[in-house]
């Protein structure tokens, strides 16, 4: 019997986990034209550390019977503008390290370099996913940060990924970004953008942003 003739009778993960994709709030410091209002706003209040802890404990109470370790992914909005987020990750690291197999978050890269270096240093953090948003991001700051965090992640055997948003006004740079990141051995992907739910027709650019020298 050839491999093509064999039937699949069972599929099981090699490392079974209980996956939690946690949107901690819609508040964001960017206002990208293709991001609909049901995905971001400027009004959501920060979860307090106590609220983070309570919500997490409720998750554990309802799922601990599975006896699976947790894979946690945090999104927003923009997670790093919640002043309690790093404190919560540190609390998880102190109190639930043995129960968490993977943990990471998605960010627009607007927090300080120090913020991300501190985050990747938390032992439960296994990945950080950065996203380019050329309307609002400071290109030089973004890539300087990603390069430094990636260097540290290699030392700690953790993962960094960059989602390159293929915006129509910036599509000429998508390949430049990808080629540069690939040369730096930084995982990346170019993401197709759908403009069906765009919040405006005009593009707004951050007048204070600085360009990164990809040839330097």
What digits encode the pLDDT tens for the residues 23-48?
A: 999 999 999 999 999 999 999 999 99
Residue 207 neighbours by CB under 8 Å, 6+ apart? none
Q: Do 76 and 45 touch, CB atoms closer than 8 A?
A: no
Q: Is 171 exposed, middle or buried (0-12, 13-18, 19+ CB in 10 A)?
A: middle
What pLDDT score was predicted for residue 2?
65
What pLDDT score was predicted for residue 94?
98
Paired tokens of 24: 């901690």
pLDDT digits (tens, 9 = 90+) for 193-214: 999 999 999 999 888 788 999 9
What whole-number percentage of the chain has pLDDT above 70? 95
Output the average pLDDT for the chain.
94
Residue 52 neighbours by CB under 8 Å, 6+ apart? 24, 84, 85, 88, 91
Domain boundaries, the chain: 15-55+65-191
Q: Is the pLDDT of residue 68 over 70?
A: yes
Q: Is the pLDDT of residue 1 over 60?
A: no
Q: Is the pLDDT of residue 12 over 70?
A: no
Alpha helices in the chain (DSSP H): 49-63, 85-96, 113-121, 139-156, 171-183
CA–CA separation, 160 vs 124, rounded Å?
14
Spell out the CATH class of 15-55+65-191.
alpha beta
Residue 17 neighbours by CB under 8 Å, 6+ apart? 68, 69, 70, 71, 101, 102
CA–CA separation, 138 vs 132, rounded Å?
9
pLDDT band of residue 16 (cuts 50, 70, 90) is confident
Q: Which residues of 41-73 are buried (b: 16+ CB within 10 A; e: fewer)?
A: eeebeebebeebbeebeeeeeeeeeeebebbbb
pLDDT digits (tens, 9 = 90+) for 113-154: 999 999 999 999 999 999 999 999 999 999 999 999 999 999
What pLDDT score was predicted for residue 180?
97
What pLDDT score was predicted for residue 33?
94
What pLDDT score was predicted for residue 207?
80
């Amino acid at each position: 019997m050839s491999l093509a003739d064999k039937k699949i009778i069972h599929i099981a993960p090699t490392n079974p986990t209980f996956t939690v994709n946690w949107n901690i709030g819609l508040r964001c410091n960017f206002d990208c034209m293709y991001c609909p209002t049901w995905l971001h706003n400027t009004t959501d209040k920060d979860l307090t550390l106590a609220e983070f802890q309570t919500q997490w404990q409720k998750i554990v109470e309802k799922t601990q019977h599975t006896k699976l370790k947790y894979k946690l992914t945090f999104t927003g909005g923009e997670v790093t503008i919640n002043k309690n987020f790093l404190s919560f990750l540190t609390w998880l690291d102190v109190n639930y390290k043995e129960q968490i197999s993977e943990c990471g978050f998605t960010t627009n890269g607007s927090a300080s370099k120090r913020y991300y270096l501190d985050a990747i240093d938390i032992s439960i953090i296994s990945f950080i996913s950065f996203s380019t948003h050329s309307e609002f991001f400071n290109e030089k700051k973004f890539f300087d940060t990603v390069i430094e965090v990636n260097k540290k992640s290699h030392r700690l055997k953790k993962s960094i990924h960059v989602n390159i948003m293929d915006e129509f006004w910036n599509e000429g740079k998508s390949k430049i970004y990808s080629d540069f990141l690939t040369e730096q051995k930084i995982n990346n992907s170019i993401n197709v953008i759908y403009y069906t739910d765009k919040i405006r027709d005009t593009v707004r650019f951050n007048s204070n942003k600085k360009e990164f020298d990809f040839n330097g």
